[in-house]
Amino acid sequence: MKKKRISITDIANALQVTPSTVSRALNGGGKVSEKKRLEIISLAKKLGYRPNPIAKSLLANRTQTIGLILPEFTHHFYSRVLAGIESITSKAGYQLLICTSNENQNQEIKSTLTLLDARVDGILATISKMNDKFEHIQEVMDSGTPLVLVDRFSEEIETPYVISDDFKGAFSAVDYLCQIGCKNILHIKGPDNLSTTFNRFMGYKEALRKHNMPLKEELVLESSDPKLVEKIRLCLTRHQVDGAFTYSDYLAFEIYKLASQLKIQIPEELSVIGYADEPISTYISPTLSTVNQQPFEMGAMSARYLLNKINDPEVALEVKNLETKLMIRESCKVVETQS
């Protein structure tokens, strides 16, 4: 049974004053003699008084809580985003109410409702991959609850968001592959209708263009393709592929497997760059070159942004595009004289 915690009225009764006086003594609102103030404070300390945030919330209509919706925790990326968010919110004295959508839009909608019901002061959310409904997002905005989207956004709805600069990230990777002399660069695209998929593909195309290399349809594959493995194999054997840039690190590992089967040496015959900088990249052999999205910073930045919005509703609608970092490791061949 939860023990009753001592309240401001308990102190008031013990000292023959009113709760108001105790409140003012504790919060420094004047109107209380120095003597009484000290008396109250010392008794409060002695009894281990701790204010009840629930009562405060009810009155103030703010909960010092921010809601977070993430698709899942198991990818390293989201763990880092979460850590980044936590680092900021905990310092600012906010609690974190966390929900998972499991990449399922219905759960996402449910979570949104839950958070709204809980009267969180703001919401950070990564919308699920498959998203075609936006009523719940609209509802959040209508409710006046500050909202910042993280990592993914949709053009269907005008919200502030913080994302990684996928275009530049992809561009830098493919640009690098070109620089070290790759002539046939394979790209494996991510899930459809995700802005990240689109932007990374654009970055790939732009880098090719910069180096006056043609875009070859047959070198662009889709991760959702059930025959993906077959098609990669085909690419590697028929099209003299000497470079690969994949939507994710895990897709890069698929290439590792096939290369090993086909006795293709990485990086001597094939340079590979993945995306996301999962920790596994540095443990696998050869260590995988990849694009780091600074997820911790992304989380921290979203949280800072949201806190700003909470404290000043007039803060401008903004879009933050976070720089990526190209991590070159053993999976890219080394050239002596770099162009």
Q: Report the distance separating Cα 98 and Cα 107, nearest Å.
A: 13
* Interaction mask 111-150, a second copy, x per CB under 8 A: --xx-xxxx-x--------------------xxxx-----
Q: Angle of helix 34-47 relative to helix 19-27, nearest 10 degrees?
A: 90
Minimum CB distance to a second copy smaller for 145 or for 289: 145
SS3 label, residue 86:
helix
CB of 110 to DNA, least distance (A): 19
Can residue 2 be called a binding residue for a second copy (CB under 8 A)?
yes
Please, what sign has the CA dihedral across residues 91, 315, 139, 74?
Answer: negative
**Binding partner at 16 among DNA, a second copy, none, C-beta below 5 to 8 Å by kind:** DNA
Pick the binder of DNA from 13, 14, 18, 90 (CB under 7 A).
18
Q: Report the distance separating Cα 250 and Cα 244, nearest Å.
A: 13
**Residue 186 has what DSSP assignment?**
E
Residue with tokens 């001597």: 268
**Binding partner at 23 among a second copy, DNA, none, C-beta below 5 to 8 Å by kind:** DNA
Give the Å distances, CA to CA, from 180 to 77, 107, 243, 280. Answer: 28, 45, 10, 24
Other CB atoms within a 10 A radius of the CB of residue 151 amount to 25
CB of 195 to a second copy, least distance (A): 25
* Interaction mask 25-64, DNA, x per CB under 7 A: -xx-x-xxxxxxx-----------x-xx--xx-xxxx---
* Interaction mask 249-288, DNA, x per CB under 7 A: ----------------------------------------
Give the Å distances, CA to CA, from 319 to 19, 199, 281. Answer: 46, 15, 30
CB of 255 to a second copy, least distance (A): 12
Can residue 181 be called a binding residue for DNA (CB under 7 A)?
no
Can residue 43 be called a binding residue for a second copy (CB under 8 A)?
no
Is-contact 167 200, C-beta < 8 A? yes
Can residue 327 be called a binding residue for DNA (CB under 7 A)?
no
Pick the binder of a second copy from 284, 315, 327, 328 (CB under 8 A).
284
Amino acid at 186: L
Kindly state the helix (H) or strand (E) to which residue 312 belongs, with its residue range: none
**Binding partner at 95 among a second copy, DNA, none, C-beta below 5 to 8 Å by kind:** a second copy
Please, what sign has the CA dihedral across residues 306, 308, 313, 317?
Answer: negative
Can residue 58 be called a binding residue for a second copy (CB under 8 A)?
yes
Q: Report the distance separating Cα 236 and Cα 234, nearest Å.
A: 5
Minimum CB distance to a second copy smaller for 198 or for 250: 250
Cα–chain-centroid distance for residue 159? 16
Q: Angle of helix 295-311 relative to helix 76-91, nearest 10 degrees?
A: 40
> Residues in the site for a second copy, rule: CB under 8 A?
1-5, 50-55, 57-58, 61-63, 72-74, 76, 79-80, 82-83, 86, 90, 95-100, 113-114, 116-119, 121, 142-145, 250, 253, 256, 260, 279-280, 283-285, 313
Residues forming contacts to DNA in the complex (CB under 7 A) are 4-5, 7-9, 16-21, 23-24, 26-27, 29, 31-37, 49, 51-52, 55-56, 58-61
